Structure 1
């Protein structure tokens, strides 16, 4: 009987092994029916959806999606570096540009950068950083581009935005990748020199985050151009939020092109197309401005109705009609990796340096406010988040220089650096208190607070980015098999479709089981045997193992979610968002660890590293819990939760003790503080609010021992003064009785003077708001209606 059972089991195993292990048997009997099922349940995919999914490249985020990241690969990526030419530009031209801008005057009085600043930016090539030298540009790396924007943003958001937009998603980027040689030869030298100022018009009133649904349209037709009848397009558009539109000389225009008469082919609805149109072209309407939360960078609408545009204005020429969405997606992955991450990382660095210094200078109850644990808690978040933002910004810009167009990573850094900048600036406002809420030339943080929502909103609203893009695109692009399965389902050649699907599907099956067993092993052993770099630093080696544990659990949960929820996962945005949070926190923690290695394992920076990684691990754990607690299938959720958290939740928030160590780094000059805020523009004069903080901090450090001396004199009875009196009162009393040397007296007087400058709040004449302004016009010069039935009239 036992022999019969044994032989039967062996036979079943042999048949099962043949079914799964022999492709010629497996494909017709298993893979073909599964493929047929996939074809029935996979929703139809539009060309724009397909372009969005397939655009860009997958980088380190793909490794994190596999469940077993290769940490040696991460650390092998070269550290981003500036060339001697790029460093000189940062040290000279960028510093000069920063010194030329008075942000208060520009924002409150002039409503624009000074004319001499515009001319300097043009003359020194700021608008042509990404344009090759062969066309008159600077030919800078993505990292240099990022460094420049970061530094400028610590001085003035208007200055940073004015420079970053022509070098980010705009005509220059599109021309370099897709333009005809004639277009490159004409426009790139003009853009590099600032002779042409570009704007790119994508967003419309009816299509903000859903940019692929733009109703702006063009009709292929013939018309008169330069005295001849030529083939072109009659284009109608209504765009808003277009940076540099009010002052641009050339408009990059995205619209949907139709060919109802078949003048260029059989397709009636050709698709999204990009054209480059001179701003003085007949019918182009620019000049009006938006007013984005007191930021004075040039931003406004552009409109046009039935404007005839010759076919030669299409970027790349007629052969590129209908390919605009793919072009935009590819370029957006690069621009979104640099512009907003750089500008918001700069904002966090400025806050860390200025608020940290202010917290040491400002006294309450006879104690520096930075010594209060409540303030220190805020300072810890400020310092830790600044370290994360700078690490992620640098690593992602470095990826672009390696030839990547990181579609998912760009969404991660755009969302999380802008959100962490919001946290940092909000914490900074809490610390500086009343000084922060009263605008004026002495306020070093108020403008940053006003402008935080701009970064949150533009280049893809953060809610959309978190809920739909990071995991929604990541599940397809970063997963090692999902995109291949989808492409096989869409393949028209049946033989090739079956072959490709068979390879992808069974690879996916092996992948799932690998992560299931790996997750169980990590849960059982607390990841003590997980991967770590070959030459791991003893202070950080454990973090690699813990991140490996999270990666394995995430990969398993992602597959479980896609299998159980299927197409409904796309509609369950909260679950998708939390899965994206897990992937994002792993990416941010990876950037922190790489930064620590790239900077030579600076032991002084370890409090920042520990805080940043522990914070990321805790947030990843919270996101995993959030998915499981809200998972519709409660049986599966309970099973997976036990599988991942066998011994309970392993991660905790950074401790108060660690937070105090981080806060202390912000409160006094040190190499660690300089590294943390190396991107800052630091004025050297007390007439500048940040410069005054730098000088006052030095004076504070010299004065603190003398202040303790004064308090001791009062306590011992040698100095008759109220212990709660202002320090200047005690200084004068001690000087009168000869308790201070002339040098000590001058040190305390200098501290008093500089401290008073730092804590000063601006006030203005009563009549400052008496001037009545006209209400802004709400009229438009053109009205655009969405096209009906596929072809507009």
Structure 2
């Protein structure tokens, strides 16, 4: 028994040393003292000379620089140098582009919560708020998506002119060139509000303000290029598009087949140094009506007119759409929205070298430019579309669930429906929270990993939420027509899923593949040291990093175990955490340590193969992403009034995020398949089983949130405030919202009437007759008859689906309620 106690004390000593991240010297001294005391007090066999020699030898090797390098570091350095794949130039540019943010803290295993607590969500400036309240509001009032989609197949001409005249294409352009220069958060708010009325208009407005000539020129253009293009882009006199993807290249944009060859050509009697371009682009938004085209291509200099290198690499250039040889104007037909999208082709298109964005000095630097500028599309525009769909889904699913009745019960009160409606509510809350956090991070710089997470998870949440909304509205959402409030968002799901990098590849290759190297405190530098041409210098650099990495890994292993055994009570939390957020921050800290340790175990076991084991790496990326999402939810919760609805929605969202993180870990451990290491890791980090906070939302919580989505709560009001509120009773959404508001006014009397009528207590052929009988029997007050008749007419009209003539051209409705 005393021997067991001694072993436990030694184990606890080691865990404490690594948990506190003590230096190698201090940690060694601490262990020696503990070892000798245990030997003297509890287990004399620990003082056996052979054991003492072994312990002393191990400590000497660890603490003696020469022995440590020869016996430990050098063999590891040599082994890893043989198995780790080299980092290519394109991959290196992608990894080094931009900066990291709080996602790196979550990957560290010990987040700096004090730093996170200082993060404040962005608020709108007076100018930004005014633009949303006036120009955006006015634009939304001009939009009719049914007409745009089914009749015009384009925006009305007056809408195009309004977009140009009011500066909707200039949100990202600096003020000195006539632009708005609005914050990422403001741009997101504007795009999502427009999207609550028309996806077509939102996509049209967002493209010039995301990846495109405007952003590239503002960041990299020469002074001459900025003066030439930016004022006209800001004024809407020039319409931009950007050609990146093509028939043979989509998500793998680094392997562009489009070519540019540096050459000379006589122009107006003078010999001009330029580029001869050949390209085939597709899926290019605004291409059919663009007046200026941005292009990405691989540039070659076979005659060495610029320098010694023959292959210069990916380059970005800007050229007028009417440049001879450019074929433009044809349209694709996006399935979910008729926004302008089409191919661009060109053969032997000659442009001068000053067409390169940034001038000739930027030749071959286009890939880094593109990576750094993808953030607006991935972090602002597409999540804004997802958030808009979520907030409209919340409004309509909640209202319709209360209006629609079956078996004399509101369908939203059936538990099967509440499972769907609670998920709609939780995801809508999550998406708004996530939008706030990601756009705040974008103000810190180009956070490529966070924006990749945002693009993938926002659009996937949108997909899930809209599908659940379709389940709730059922047949009402199936029949197409101007009354249908779900069909067009449903049809548009694949657009957001596919653009700016297909979601499958974003998840399986980018989030963890790029995120691990960007966020890990040592890994990328270690890989660079392994590839250093000067082996001695590389070994020296690697040794310093390797020792820190080893301590980091073992420290996180110990931290994960301690948090598991103590329920996270020793985990760091923000100093300003309240009673609601404290247990959740502890749980996130715990999973942060688990993620960091598990990732290091995967690196150690699989090495370079981890990149190819996409199913495994994607799951670790899911854990990383869901921890950031949980942080966004907690931060957003703190910005809303502390009431039952806010707490319930946040609790649902946190359970949803952390349960997905846990399930991703379990799937990783189950499929690791290397000497049972996965089972050992699971047992180490979760010896007491799955934490309560990482369970899926329970039935009580589902019922609570399922009820709240139908109520006029603070959360409903907060989410609705970001949308365009339409009061038109002939509008698809306005019809539902007007009916819902009327139901809230008359519901007590209406339910009393329905209860009596359902029991057969009210005689009469018509509704009006039965209402008067209800008055006579004291079931309802006399002044409620007209209000209930008005509501019933609204209710019946709200439930109708569109009917057309036989050719499906003209709407032919019968709106009168049968007797």
Q: Distance in 1 between matches of 2:740 and 2:628?
A: 35
Which stretches in structure 2 are left out of the alignment for 5+ residues? 1-38, 811-819
1:764 aligned partner: 804
Q: CA deviation at 1:33?
A: 4.3
1:735-774 to 2 correspondence within 5 Å?
Answer: 743-768=783-808
366, 390, 397: which one aligns with 1:324: 366
Partner of 1:445: 486
Matches within 5 A, 1:141-540: 141-401=183-443, 403-494=444-535, 496-540=537-581
2:708 paired residue among 665, 685, 706 = 665
- After superposition, the C-alpha distances for 1:349-374 in whole angstroms (9 at most, x for unaligned) are 11101121111111222221111111
Equivalent in the alignment of 1:568: 609
Q: Aligned equivalents of 2:701 and 2:215: distance in 1?
A: 44
**Aligned residue number for residue 787 of structure 1:** none
Q: What is the CA–CA distance in structure 1 between the aligned matches of 2:627 and 2:546, rounded to whole Å?
A: 26
Q: 1:96 aligns with which of 138, 147, 151?
A: 138
Q: 2:336 touches 2:495 (CA, 8 Å); kept in 1?
A: no
Deviation at 1:388, TM superposition (A): 0.8
Offset of residue 4 of structure 1: 12
Residue 582 in structure 1 maps to residue 582 in structure 2: no
For the residue of structure 1 that corresponds to 2:245, the secondary structure is coil
Deviation at 1:495, TM superposition (A): 5.1
- SS of the aligned residue for 1:229 comes to strand
2:624 pairs with 1:624: no
Q: Aligned partners of 2:759 and 2:529: how far apart in 1?
A: 86
Shift of 1:448: 0.1
Q: After TM superposition, give the deviation of residue 272 of structure 1 in Å.
A: 0.6
CA drift of 1:203 comes to 0.4
Q: How does 1:767-786 map to 2 (within 5 A)?
A: 767-768=807-808
Say yes or no: does 1:69 pair with 2:111: yes
Q: Against the structure 1 CA distance between its residues 66 and 712, is the aligned structure 2 distance closer, same or farther, given a 3 Å change threshold? A: closer
Does the 8 A contact of 1:199 with 1:248 survive in 2?
yes
Deviates more, 1:425-434 or 1:631-640: 631-640
**Alignment CA distance shift 1:27-1:192 (3 Å):** farther
Aligned match of 2:92:
50
The TM-score, its normalising length taken from structure 1, stands at 0.93
Contact kept? 1:341, 1:418, Cα under 8 Å: yes
Q: Kindly tell me: are residues 294 and 624 of structure 1, through their superposed partners in 2, closer, same or farther at Cα, counting changes over 3 Å? A: closer
Task: Quote how far apart the aligned CAs of 1:332 are.
Answer: 1.0
What SS does the aligned partner of 1:630 have?
A: helix
Equivalence for 1:790: none
Q: 1:458, CA displacement in angstroms?
A: 0.8
Task: Name the CA distance, whole Å, in 1 between partners of 2:436 and 2:768.
Answer: 45
Q: Name 2:739's counterpart in structure 1.
A: 696
Secondary structure, aligned partner of 1:766: coil
**1:678 and 2:721 aligned:** yes
Q: Find the residue that maps to 1:420 and give its secondary structure.
A: helix
Deviation at 1:598, TM superposition (A): 3.0
SS in 2 for 1:316: coil
The secondary structure found in structure 2 opposite 1:241 is: strand
Partner of 1:598, secondary structure, is: coil
Q: Please show how residues 6-21 of structure 1 align to structure 2 within 5 Å.
A: 16-21=58-63
Find the partner of 1:710 among 740, 748, 753.
Answer: 753
Shift of 1:270: 1.0
CA contact (8 A) 1:530 1:545 kept: yes
Distance 1:110 1:35, change over 3 A: same
Give the whole-Å Cα distance in 2 for the aligned partners of 1:495 and 1:142: 46
Offset, 1:153: 1.0
Which whole-Å deviations, capped at 9, do the CAs of 1:357-411 have from their partners, x for residues lacking one?
Answer: 111111222221111111111110000001111111110001111x221111111
Q: SS of 1:392's equivalent?
A: helix
The SS at the match of 1:108 is helix
Distance across 2 between alignment mates of 1:333 and 1:710: 55
* 2:752–2:779 contact (8 Å) kept in structure 1: no
Identify the match of residue 655 of structure 1 among 698, 722, 737: 698
Range with bigger deviation, 590-599 or 621-630: 590-599
2:46/2:52 contact within 8 Å kept: no
CA drift at 1:753: 2.0
Structure 2: how far apart are the matches of 1:321 and 1:757? 62
Q: Give, in whole Å, the separation in 2 of the partners of 1:428 and 1:745.
A: 33
Instruction: State the Cα distance separating 1:767 from its structure 2 match.
Output: 1.9
Shift of 1:96: 0.6
Partner Cα separation in structure 2 for residue 28 and residue 586 of structure 1:
40
Q: Distance in 2 between matches of 1:410 and 1:522?
A: 30
Deviation, structure 1 residue 492:
3.6
* CA positional deviation for 1:5: 6.3
Distance 1:17 1:691 in 2: 74
Post-superposition CA distance 1:673-711 (Å, at most 9, x none): 111332211112212121122211121122222223324
Shift of the alpha carbon at 1:665? Answer: 2.1
Alpha-carbon distance between aligned partners in 2 of 1:495 and 1:556, rounded to the nearest angstrom: 29
Aligned-partner Cα distance in 2 for 1:505–1:532: 29
Note closer, same or farther for the CA distance 1:204–1:711 as it changes in structure 2 (3 Å cut): closer
User: How many residue pairs align between the two structures?
Assistant: 766
- Tell me, yes or no, if the aligned pair for 1:75 and 1:597 is still in contact at 8 Å: no
The corresponding residue for 2:35 is none
Q: Which stretch of structure 1 is more off in the superposition, 699-708 or 514-523? A: 699-708
CA shift, 1:502, in A, is 2.0
In structure 2, what is the Cα distance between the partners aligned to 1:623 and 1:717?
Answer: 54
Cα distance change, pair 645–119 in 1 and its aligned pair in 2 (3 A)? same
Q: Distance in 2 between matches of 1:87 and 1:425?
A: 28
Once the two structures are overlaid, the 10-residue window that deviates more, 450-459 or 14-23, is 14-23
SS in 2 for 1:194: coil
Please give the per-residue CA displacement for 1:571-595, whole angstroms capped at 9, x wherever unaligned: 1111111111111111111110011
1:23 positional shift: 4.8
Q: Could you tell me how far 1:716 is from its partner in structure 2?
A: 7.6
* Residue aligned with 2:807, SS: helix
Alpha-carbon distance between aligned partners in 2 of 1:303 and 1:287, rounded to the nearest angstrom: 10
- Check the 8 A contact 1:166/1:172 in 2, yes or no: yes
Aligned 8 A contact 1:334 1:406 in 2: no
Kept after mapping to 2: 8 A contact 1:203/1:241: yes
8 Å Cα contact 2:640-2:646 kept in structure 1 = no
Per mean C-alpha deviation after superposition, the further-off stretch among 479-488 and 736-745 is 736-745
Q: What's the CA shift for 1:444?
A: 1.0
Distance 1:644 1:438 in 2: 50
